[in-house]
Structure 1
Amino acid sequence: MNDTNFKPAGYDIDLGNACSRNAYAWAKKTFPNRAGQPGEPAQDLDGGFSNEICFGQERLGISSDGIGTKIEVAERVGRFDTLGYDLIAMVADDLIAGGFVPSNLSNIIDVNTLDYDVIDELMRGLHDAANFSRIAVTGGEIAELGNRIGGWPGARMNFNWCSTAVGALHPSLKSPLSGVTVQAGHAVVALRSPSFRSNGFSLARRTLQSLYGDNWHTAPYTGSDAAELGNTWGEVLLAPSLIYAPAVAHLLDAGLPLHGIAHITGGGIADNFQRVLKNNGVGAELDNLFEPLPAMQKLTKLAGISPADAYLYWNMGNGMLLVTEEAQAAAVVSQLQADGYAAQVAGRITAEPGIKLKVAAGELVY
């Protein structure tokens, strides 16, 4: 792309990152309010996926997120019982990336007008995802906001759904997983993502709208993964997020060494993995990542975007990256596979900064 102002998704990732940094800078100015008291924030996870608060010797993680514009896909398809997996994945996997085992979640559903059956579907799905993750849903609110909440005009109910989760630092860890112990020569293990998860939907929807019009969600999907994801583009995009937290907690239970974890969400592999590597100037060469889902490859071509951009907007089949010691990489992969997750050694940490992806589309350098 020669036009540096072109934004394939209609939004600016760099501006979003700048706004997030600014917002966090203001938030950090409040940290002294709890200095030396219960709830004191620690700062060893600056720029990480969650934050840390201390209650005496107890170290807790806290994370907040939502499921974004994937909600419109659910409104279009008329199915709402899978979104709970997305909501929990966004916060639980951010917590486990810091070594915090998720335990409790509070959520808020903002709606334009109430529909009992839609709320019931949402909460039933949240219940199922919480059971999968061994999380207790201990707080929540439903707020009816009228025309302050919009969405697809044909929906039974327009809404937005966000949550905050907390968890305790795994007892095997003396401090959170910030990436500070990552060294050149360490191995990188990738966990496969069987769906788009809950990121990159603005670009996906924009592309499909331009191709198929207002009812793009009913357009047939004929990719090789149709049996896994669905036969329409709406079903493909609605496929729920896989929650990695239980499997990673099991690795820590087994005493397997982890030095850093990247949850691959908005910003893709490079942007998120850099948050793990920032503390000591190392880089990574990833030459054995999982292949992008066929649906992602098809959308890349349909959207007319470069592979480099696609790897920034979507996870491209890789939902989490774990840094472990080379001698233990095979054991980490074996444990993850035993728990039912697709995992493989994806590359290694390099002494040189920067992230290099060697994928079917070529070599991508960030």
Structure 2
Amino acid sequence: MALPAKSKTYKESGVDIELGDACSALFYNASLQTFANREGKIGVPLKSEGGFSGPLYIDDMKDSYLVKNSDGCGTKAEIAHRMGKHDTLAFDLLAMVCDDAVCIGAEPIAAVNSLDAQRLNIDVVRQLARGIIDACKEAGIAMVGGETAELGRSISGYGDSPYTWNAEVTGVVERGKLITGDKISDGDFIVAFKEKGFRSNGLSLARKILEERYGDEYHKTDFHDSSWGAALLVPSQIYTKSVLAMHGAYGKRPVVRLHGVAHITGGGIAGNLGRLIYKGGFGAKIDSPFFPCMAMRELVKIGPVELKEAYSTWNMGNGMMVITPEPDEVIAIAQKNGVTAKVAGKVTTGAKIVIASYLGDELVYYGRK
């Protein structure tokens, strides 16, 4: 008589429910510490232990838009895994979603995140959760929900527990304060906000160059006074509070005129500034942008990477660009909020963007209305 087969378990298939619950508890406890960021503002979260959604209290919202967008930190998660340092990655995650929302004048109020891992590692999650507390405070939002999932072979990458991390943010903006770019005029100033690293964009190109040059363990290679891994992992600056200080958070009046805001992510200056100005038949002359970080300049050299490709892949030192007739006021407010800013150029007529590169070359990009 055949013996009955041994009962299979979920854990044997690669999903550890107890570990998942422990990781969820870490994220939940971190999220609770972000709720204070919304005190006295629209969208105060309700503490709902064991709930299935994150309620937000809206007292009075008239003639306004709810804004939603999503993004992720991309392959920067692999750099974090290579370096064993995950506590700054939330700055990259929230910069992608919050700084996108504020481009149209919206105040981000709450986010949810989704961590998909080959297998969960509680030490990694502990670092990610710690970063959520700090990054949410910087962005002024609450983290009100999330999901962790073990997906086995569906997730691959460096090391024994690779993951991807994405988020979705909800924001709000009064209809009369929506920034659409329709007020952009010839001669408006373009103010650049300085960025010290890659944010979450163009890292696939950086990794390819470094792997070909130094091999699979490229992140351990010395680069100036640190390593290549550390250079790629520099956390993103979150510009949300600076822009809201200019444009006014929900229920507050603008203190300076913003005609357009472009978040310089994948596609570089030309791609992101272009999508804002080309539709009005405008172009730009960027004759004084910030210099790219040292790592970008070195990658251009060793790639090699043509300058036009570099400026349409990486932010090249410019994380956000604000179009305004009042540049001095914009710069002063940015600096008061810890953001280095300067006039980088002006709006011009004709759908063409001209950028003065850090090597002195004039790069020309053409667009269509």
Say if 2:151 is the partner of 1:141. Answer: no
| Secondary structure at the counterpart of residue 151 of structure 1 | coil
Equivalent in the alignment of 1:95: 101
Aligned 1:26-65 pairs, distance under 5 A:
57-65=63-71
- SS of the equivalent of 2:280 reads coil
The answer as to whether partners of 2:186 and 2:282 remain within 8 angstroms in 1 is: yes
What residue in structure 1 maps to residue 202 of structure 2?
200
Deviation sequence 1:76-130 (CA, Å, 0-9, x none): 0001001000000000000001111111001110111111111111111012100
Letter in 1 for 2:271: D
Q: Does 1:290 align with 2:290?
A: yes
Deviation for aligned residue 1:267: 0.5
Which of the residues 335, 342, 357 maps onto 1:344?
Answer: 342
How high is the TM-score relative to the length of structure 2? 0.79
Q: Provide the rounded CA distance (Å) in 2 between the counterparts of 1:340 and 1:134.
A: 15
For the residue of structure 1 that corresponds to 2:223, the secondary structure is coil
How is 1:124-139 mapped onto 2 (pairs within 5 angstroms)? Answer: 124-139=130-145
Question: Residue 313 of structure 1 corresponds to which residue in structure 2?
Answer: 313
Where 2:222 maps in the other structure, the secondary structure is coil
**Equivalent position amino acid for 2:112 in 1:** S
- In structure 2, distance between residues paired with 1:56 and 1:135: 21
Show CA shifts across 1:325-366 (max 9, x none).
1xx111111111122111001110001221000123210000
Amino acid in structure 2 at the alignment position of 1:80: H
Q: Which residue of 2 aligns with 1:211?
A: 213
Residues 1:116 and 2:114 aligned together: no
Q: Which has the larger radius of gyration?
A: 2
Where has structure 1 moved over 3 Å in runs of 4 or more? Answer: none
Aligned to 1:49: none
User: Where do residues 72-91 of structure 1 align in structure 2 (5 Å cutoff)?
Assistant: 72-91=78-97
My pick for the range that moved more, 55-64 or 70-79, is: 55-64
Match status 1:249 vs 2:244? yes
Q: Name 2:363's counterpart in structure 1.
A: 364
- 1:148 deviates by 0.6
Segments of 5+ residues of structure 1 without an aligned counterpart are 1-54
Q: 3-state DSSP class of the match of 1:279? A: helix
| One-letter identity of the residue aligned with 2:66 | L
Secondary structure of 1:185 counterpart: coil
C-alpha contact 2:74 2:200 (8 A) present in aligned 1? yes
> Distance between the aligned counterparts of 2:125 and 2:233, measured in 1?
17
Distance 2:235 2:336 in 1: 21
1:139-218 to structure 2, matched below 5 A, reads: 139-152=145-158, 154-155=159-160, 157-169=161-173, 174-218=176-220
In 1, Cα distance between equivalents of 2:321 and 2:210: 29
User: How many angstroms apart in 2 are the aligned matches of 1:356 and 1:218?
Assistant: 37
Name the residue aligned to 2:55: none
Question: Partner of 1:34 in structure 2?
Answer: none
Q: CA deviation at 1:278?
A: 2.7
> What is the DSSP-based 3-state SS (H/G/I as helix, E as strand, rest coil) of the residue aligned with 1:313?
coil
How far, CA to CA, are the matches of 1:217 and 1:344 in structure 2? 33
Higher alpha-carbon deviation: 252-261 or 180-189: 252-261
CA distance in 1, matches of 2:242, 2:281: 28
Distance (Å, rounded) in 2 between the aligned partners of 1:340 and 1:105: 23
Q: Report the Cα offset of residue 175 of structure 1.
A: 4.2
Letter in 1 for 2:340: A
Structure 2 residue runs without a partner (length 5+): 1-60, 249-253
- CA positional deviation for 1:56: 5.9
| Local SS of the residue matching 2:99 | helix
Please say if residues 91 and 135 of structure 2, whose CA atoms lie closer than 8 Å, have aligned partners that are also in contact: yes
Contact 2:354-2:364 within 8 A present in 1 as well: yes
TM-score by length of 1: 0.80
Q: CA deviation at 1:58?
A: 2.7
The residue identity in structure 2 corresponding to 1:333 is: I
* Backbone CA RMSD of aligned residues: 1.3
| Matched-pair identity in % | 40
1:269 and 2:269 matched? yes
- Matched residues in 2 for 1:214 and 1:186: separation? 46
| Corresponding letter in the other structure for 1:130 | C
